[in-house]
Amino acid sequence: MPATHLLYLHGFRSSPQSFKAQRLHAWLRQHRPELHWWCPQLPPSPREAVALLREGIAGWPTDGPAVLGSSLGGFYATVMAELTGWPAVLMNPAVHPARDLARHIGEQTAFHDPAERFYFRVEYVDELRALTPGPITRPERYFAIIAKGDELLDWREMTARYPGAQIRLLEGSDHALSDFDDHLPHLLQFLKLCD
């Protein structure tokens, strides 16, 4: 069954203005205008982010939705997939965000609007730790795009986190997946939105 609802989750310091979110949304508007799309601005607090998501999808059907996430959004997408049973598309997903973001405590600027600032607090690391799911269940519902050229996250850790999942392992590329257009057809195929 093709996806009917898509929840897109951006990464740390990112926003709904993310290049990948914009490209995917543009394709959907043109080819699947009936599909329900939601790409919220996530608050810095992981606990609040997941609460916002759970509240936002409360009225969604059980069959038909899927979740996508990039970087920290990939971590949240895993959390949501394990909570809901939905298929998940992960793009260079953060797999140890409590460890990796501990060095980013303090004031941060937003990528898409450097004038916008937020404070990443010590307790957010504990919130990430508390949210971390155990081993993934039903790996067949996961599709991960992982770049060996990711300059921020280790591709070996990413692939090891999703055993049995469908993985598109890229020899080069980068953390942002600047070559996202090359991978869009595979993502759409996984979601049964194109042939």
Total tally of structural domains belonging to the chain = 1
Query: Are 19 and 111 within 8 A, CB to CB?
Result: no
Give tens-digit pLDDT for 126-170.
999 999 999 999 999 999 999 999 999 999 999 999 999 999 999
Predicted confidence at residue 110, as pLDDT, reads 77
pTM, to two decimals: 0.95
Give tens-digit pLDDT for 32-77.
999 999 999 999 999 999 999 999 999 999 999 999 999 999 999 9
Give the whole-angstrom CA distance, residue 109 versus residue 116: 6
Give the whole-angstrom CA distance, residue 175 versus residue 173: 7
Q: What is the mean pLDDT of the chain?
A: 94
Indicate which CATH number applies to the domain containing 44: 3.40.50.1820
Give tens-digit pLDDT for 88-130.
999 999 999 999 989 988 888 877 777 788 878 899 999 999 9
Task: Name the residue type at position 105.
Answer: I
In a domain, 195, yes or no: no
Query: Are 14 and 46 within 8 A, CB to CB?
Result: no
Task: Check the CA dihedral 109-125-80-177 and report its sign.
Answer: positive
Range of the domain at 120: 5-190
